[in-house]
Every structure is written in C-alpha cells, then in structure tokens.
Amino acid sequence: MRSVAEVAAAAKAAAPTLARASTLAKDAALEAMAAALDAGHGQILEANAADVKAARAADTPAALVDRLTLTGERIDGCARGLRDLVGLTDPVGEVVRGFRLPNGLEVRQLRVPLGVVAMVYEGRPNVTVDAAGLALKSGNACVLRGSSSAIRSNTALAGLLRDAVEAAGLPADVIGLVEDTSRRSVSELGRLRGVVDLLIPRGGAGLIQAVVTDAQVPVIETGVGNCHVYVDATADLDMATRIIVNAKAQRPSVCNAAETLLVHASVAEAFLPPAAEALRGHGVRMVGDEAAQRLAGADPAADSDWDAEYLDLVLAVRVVDDLDAALAHIARHSTLHTEAIVTGDRAAARRFVAEVDAAAVMVNASTRFTDGGEFGFGAEIGISTQKLHARGPMGLTELTTTKYVVEGDGQVRA
C-alpha cells in the first residue's frame, strides 16, 4: 500500500503533463474512462458486493448501505457523467483579461489548472468517478481519499480509470487513490503543503470541521446547509406551501434542502395549519416554538434544533414577529448556504437579498435550486459555503487558477 505522501507525490509529478494536455487529449481520456466503466461492470459490482456485505455485517444503517451500493444503472450513470464532461467547455487556456501597459508590456491573465486537487469524501463510490472526471477535464491531478466502507469499490473504480487514462496517453498517476483510510491519512493529506494545491472535504459537518481546522493546505468548505425558508407577511400562501414542501421533502438528504421554516406572525394562523398538513402528507415531522406547536402540531423544539442539519424529513418551525426577526434568526443560525424568502413585497425582497449573507439567496423559489446542474454548469464538485475562491456551486472553472503572462522587449522599471 502506497503512503499518502507517495500517492500525492506521484500525482504532483504527473500534474504538469496533464496541465499542458490539449482538450482533445483530455476528452479522449474521459471517453476511455467511460468505456472502461462500461466494460468493467462485473469487476466493479463484485468489489462493491464485498463492501456492501461488510457494511451489512457491521450493522450499517440501511440508508448508508443504499448510498454505498452500486448497480448496473448507477455505473451507467457514472459513465454518462464522464461523457457529459466531454461536451463541456475546457476552462484551461481562457484569457481572463488582457491589457497593454503604457510602456508597451503586454499582459494576459491566463486560466490554468490548480495542480493537485485532493478530495476527502464519505460513502458513495460514485464520487470517485465524478471527482476524477472533473479534475481531469480541468487539467488537475487528483488525490482521492474515500471512506473505508467503500475501499474495495473505490479501488476497483480507480484501477479501471487509471488504466484507461494511461491507455489514452496520459499518466495514470493523475488519478491517485489513497488506500489508507485511517483518520490519520486525512490529516497527512492536509499537511502536504507545496504538494496539494486544494483540499475539498465532502461529507457531514463533522468531517468538514475536522479537515478545516486541521489542514495547512488551502481548503474549500462544501455543503453544510442549514437552509431557511421565510414566509413573509405578504407571501402568496399557496406558493409558500409549495416551496416549503419542495424545499423540505423533494430530496431531504441533500445540503440544499430546507431545515427551518420561519413564518411572519401575521400569517401564521392562516398559513401554518394547511402547510403543516401538506408537509405531514409528505412524511415530514415538525418541531417548533410554542406557536408552531399550537398551529402546526409540532413537537417542542430544543435550542439545538435551530442549528440542526437534519438531512431527513424533519423541519424546525418558528413564528417570528417580522422581517427583522427573521433576518436576525438567519444571521445567527445560517451556514451561509441558501436562504429563501416568500413574499409579495418588493421592499422586503430587496432587504432580504441585500442583508442575508449566503452563497445563494432565493426569492419565491425553492432552496433546492442551488445546484451546479440546475444552474447549467453541467457538473459540480461540491457547493462552496465559504467566501474565498468559490461560493455556491463549483464547476470546472472553480478548479482552476490563473497566471499572468507579461511579454516585452526588454522593459525595465523606472
């Protein structure tokens, strides 16, 4: 088993070749990777079955076993994802801006790959394929550290992808899998300054917090979403019900699902009873303050509920006096992911948009739209909830940096 440092060093050594590869060469590699998945169903499913069997034997919850499980259809989905990347514009080589200085120097700011992008993730082995594909298309070598529960699946997938990349004429080491799935290996990755150019943790709040506080390499925080929907005094109440039901129940396990409903006191009596009925009809359990207990039949909320990212069919409900109180609640409990207002009042919408600090602010729309696919970015490596480098859905462009190229004829500074 190669050490974390060895895997990363091999990726670093291979990165310049990939960084300079043409779009045609990278697209050919992506097609080869997809074809390798097509041809490798048997091998992948066998490895995955062993992971699933081990997970079941360890009494892993059914939802986690489901995330871990690959099927022919899911593998086809991964291959399709790789082929979709072929159609996307290569960000590398874009001239972001260019200008001529008074002394005749010609300056271009060119988009270039970051170098080595490391990812730490949990559960789903399809992330191995998605991350390898996004990194390759954007010209970056990747170092992938999945969970121990998926190690057999990830090893099978990475092996197929590496062979395919090599057959397509690029170095296999641009895809590196860390086989050491100990906690220590995450910490080691985060300390490889000068080798790892970016570390992206994808998973629960615990994993992300641990990586961010421990890492010495640049990190982008992704995906923790305690998203709020605020129903204002002037909201169209039917629209508000449709939005909160969609935001909470359409896919509760994802980061852009809503976790808290805030309701203006003046519409609480009219809105909450039918909204609660609709939510319950979608299997949603509610916890809330006194008014929500009375009007929505919610169970009593604990203080911790206002900070909970349930990722489940649970919703915290609170009645607030006005927009100010809603903004204060959001400022206190937001994870800066996505916040929504439902309102008919232009001034309220403008204040909400201006004052809420988040990657995305929705007016009269479901929080579920904060998504690279929905935004038309074509693919997404995660949703950044930090302010540096990338905020919101991260596509190929967010996996690049720039370089200034300055050309002259002997200019010196006066």
Binding site for a copy of itself (CB under 8 A): 16, 20, 99, 101, 105, 107, 109, 114-115, 193, 197-198, 212-213, 216, 218, 220, 236, 239, 242-243, 245-247, 250, 349, 353-355, 357-366, 368-370, 374-376, 386-389, 391-392, 401-413
- Least separation in angstroms between CB 121 and a copy of itself: 19
CA dihedral (69, 29, 371, 11) in degrees, to 10, reads: 80
Q: Which is nearer to a copy of itself, 154 or 400 (CB)?
A: 400
The label of the residue with tokens 């069919």 reads: 313
State both tokens at 224. 């923790």
Single-letter residue type at 9:
A
How many angstroms separate the CA atoms of 158 and 193, rounded? 24
Beta carbon of residue 249, minimum distance to a copy of itself (angstroms, whole number): 10
- Shortest Cβ 155–a copy of itself spacing (Å): 30
Q: Nearest-5° angle of CA 51, CA 53, CA 57?
A: 115
Nearer to a copy of itself, 131 or 211 (CB): 211
* Cα separation, 150 vs 69, whole angstroms: 9
CA nearest 222: which of 181, 187, 256? 256
Residue labelled with tokens 């909160």: 244
Q: Which is nearer to a copy of itself, 218 or 297 (CB)?
A: 218
Residue 412: CB partners within 8 Å, gap ≥ 6? none
Considering the complex, what minimum distance in angstroms separates the CB of residue 406 from a copy of itself? Answer: 5
What CA–CA distances, in Å, run from 159 to 37, 175, 211, 253, 344?
A: 10, 9, 26, 30, 54
- The smaller minimum CB distance to a copy of itself, of residues 66 and 407, is found at 407
d(CA 7, CA 311): 33
Residue 374 CB, shortest distance to a copy of itself, in Å, is 7
Tokens representing residue 359 in the block = 């990657």
Give min distance, CB of 74 to a copy of itself, in A.
Answer: 21
Min dist. Cβ of residue 58 to a copy of itself (A): 33
Of 289 and 312, nearer to a copy of itself (C-beta) is 312
What does DSSP say about strands 338-342 and 116-121: parallel, antiparallel, or unpaired?
A: unpaired
The least CB distance from residue 275 to a copy of itself, in Å, is 14
State which residue, 35 or 207, has the beta carbon closest to a copy of itself.
207
Secondary structure, 3-state, 301-322 = CCHHHHHCCCCCCEEEEEEECC
User: Nearest distance from residue 264's CB to a copy of itself, in Å?
Assistant: 17
Residue whose CB is less far from a copy of itself, 80 or 193: 193
Distance CA 12, CA 6 (A): 10
> Residue 48 or residue 370: which is nearer to a copy of itself going by CB?
370
* ∠ Cα 350 354 357 (to 5°): 135
Least Å distance, CB 397 to a copy of itself, is 11
Q: Which is nearer to a copy of itself, 136 or 160 (CB)?
A: 136
Q: Pairing between strand 175-177 and 258-264? A: unpaired
The candidate with the shortest Cα–Cα distance to 14, out of 206, 165, 145, is 165
CA 394 to CA 200: how far, in whole Å? 11
Between the alpha carbon of residue 86 and those of residues 29, 67, 134, 380, the distances in Å are 9, 26, 10, 14
Judged on CB neighbours under 10 Å (0-12, 13-18, 19+), 410 is: exposed
Measured from the CB atom, the residue of 318 and 368 that comes closer to a copy of itself is: 368
